[in-house]
Structure 1
Amino acid sequence: MSFFGRNIKKIRGVKGLSQKAFAELFDLKRATLGAYEEGRSEPRIETIIKIANYFSITIDSLLTSDLTVNELLRFKDDLLLSDELEEKEQMLSIKYVSEKNISSYTGYFDNDAFLNDLPEISLPIESEKLVRAFTVTNLEMTDHDKGLYPKDVVIAEQIAQEDFDNFGNGEIVIAVLEKEIVVRKIYFVADNVILKAAHKNIEERIFPKASIKELWHAKFSFIRRLPEVGDDVENKLLFLERELLKLKNNS
């Protein structure tokens, strides 16, 4: 990613502008802006001038240095953030395959315009790999009251095809196939993969390893419900204490 790409992404973050809002300010397409930010394309000189003038930043600074939050906020001296604090507040922007776009992902997972148009979520996590967020759409990874439920979000790191053979068995993955996305535990057997559900009533599925378009290793999850709080044993003891107290009072 060039200094220009990093800087305009940082400007958006400081100013609270989405890719769409920023692109509209300068008559750009959202996909074009995404290409700038990811270093896949360089802007025209008139675009650079417009952005520099709009935010009162020198063209030299925009193109040749990593702008700091101090340079962008334009606050009073006593409200400026230090570079150290800026570093601590860095968030990882993750493309989110949501309920609305998950059905299209299998057909356009390698289309830059489609990927640039995906919504983004920002999280305080670090990863040297490409990271993506996927929505769970079924009950295949549920086990009684545990596991992943529909609308839960799984954060996953991409596994390169050349690393498939070195990837451990029994890990939870998101497998992108020809016409579907499957969230299951994976097992490699010769040239095939076995995808096992956590739900005991759902049979395992076997696919040729070559049929996997993308493979993502699940690392984190966000659940769309409150977990149960409390110790079941403790609750039973409290119940017994209440019953004993009742018996004592009635005797």
Structure 2
Amino acid sequence: MSFFGRNIKKIRGVKGLSQKSFAELFDLKRATLGAYEEGRSEPKIDTIIKIANYFSISIDSLLTSDLTVNELLRFKEDLILSVDNLEKETLAVIPYVSEQKITKYSKHYNNAKFIEDLPKLSLPVEEDKKLRAFTVTNLEMTDHDKGLYPKDVIIGEYIELDEIDSYGNGEVVIAVLEDEVIVRKIYFISDQVVLKAEHKNIEEKIFSKSVLKELWLAKYSFIRRLPEVGDEVENKLLFLEKELLKLKNRS
């Protein structure tokens, strides 16, 4: 048995790792690890480096000396040594008002069973907020090629109705009314609510605050297309350059 084989066997013993758990940490097969420990096979250099780095052991010590238990106990004690003990990342679970459900939402928004039965989205956003995801169903919040398009998803943070006076400065909201769910910018004029679309041809909606059933402040969006990346002027110059090259090749 080589020093490497003896040493990884000792590491497993000190850290309480089975062959299976140790092998999974380094993407090895259990049989391969067994062959290392019994000296029937030698590891690749990248495997040696991974194990040495993981346990903060020098490669020289791992390969050329018989590590003692005391030496192993001095190595990092805060390491995650088992796949089963890996800290699992928790994501916010958000009820999702899909395109099929959005027409029913204004009638059942306060029905706990209806909300419970909604599909759920898991996203890496704040977990301590009351969030809800809504499907965009129209072009009201578009301006030429920008904005929110049908089938995009907008995620709102719940606003208590007795706190709505803190808003009304053009924030994008999801407003739940008696018969519809509207995504627009919100303004308040006295006791009137003004919901303004981005699309120039859509008229404002004006009504009393008392008509609001729920109000959600838009916080995140899921857009079903890639955003433009790069400088717009540079992109246009590149386009013109390609077109000029085409013309040159034709002549």
User: Under TM normalisation by the shorter chain, which class is it?
Assistant: 0.5 to 0.7
Hey, what's the Cα distance between the residues in 2 that align with 1:116 and 1:249?
62
- Structure 2: gaps of 5 or more residues: 1-80
* C-alpha deviation, 1:241, in angstroms: 4.7
Which residue of the partner structure matches residue 82 of structure 2? 78
Q: Aligned to 1:163, what secondary structure does the other structure show?
A: helix
Q: Give TM-score scaled by structure 2 length.
A: 0.62
Hey, what's the Cα distance between the residues in 1 that align with 2:117 and 2:168?
33
Q: Aligned to 1:162, what secondary structure does the other structure show?
A: helix
Q: Aligned in 2, Cα 1:245/1:180: closer, same or farther, shift over 3 Å? A: closer
Hey, what's the Cα distance between the residues in 2 that align with 1:164 and 1:246?
57
Q: 5 Å matches for 1:47-196?
A: 78-82=82-86, 85-86=87-88, 89-196=89-196
Which residue of the partner structure matches residue 77 of structure 2? none
Which amino acid counterpart does residue 218 of structure 2 have in structure 1?
A
Q: 5 Å matches for 1:23-42?
A: none
Hey, what's the Cα distance between the residues in 1 that align with 2:139 and 2:123?
26
Which residue of the partner structure matches residue 197 of structure 1? 197
Checking the alignment, whether the CA contact within 8 Å between 2:135 and 2:154 is kept in structure 1 is yes
Q: Aligned in 2, Cα 1:246/1:159: closer, same or farther, shift over 3 Å? A: closer
Which amino acid counterpart does residue 181 of structure 2 have in structure 1?
I
Q: Aligned to 1:186, what secondary structure does the other structure show?
A: strand
1:58-90 deviations in Å (ceiling 9; x for gaps): xxxxxxxxxxxxxxxxxxx632234xx33xx11
Checking the alignment, whether the CA contact within 8 Å between 2:172 and 2:186 is kept in structure 1 is yes
Which residue of the partner structure matches residue 49 of structure 2? none
Task: Count residues with an aligned counterpart.
Answer: 171
The share of aligned pairs that are identical, in percent, is 64
**Higher Cα Rg, which structure:** 2
Q: Give TM-score scaled by structure 1 length.
A: 0.62
* C-alpha deviation, 1:227, in angstroms: 2.3
Which amino acid counterpart does residue 115 of structure 1 have in structure 2?
I
1:4-54 deviations in Å (ceiling 9; x for gaps): xxxxxxxxxxxxxxxxxxxxxxxxxxxxxxxxxxxxxxxxxxxxxxxxxxx
Hey, what's the Cα distance between the residues in 2 that align with 1:247 and 1:179?
56
Q: Aligned to 1:220, what secondary structure does the other structure show?
A: strand
Hey, what's the Cα distance between the residues in 2 that align with 1:240 and 1:176?
47
RMSD: 2.3
Q: Aligned in 2, Cα 1:176/1:78: closer, same or farther, shift over 3 Å? A: same
* C-alpha deviation, 1:169, in angstroms: 1.2
1:193-236 deviations in Å (ceiling 9; x for gaps): 00000000111110100000000000000011222334331133
1:101-137 deviations in Å (ceiling 9; x for gaps): 1111111100111111111011111143310000000
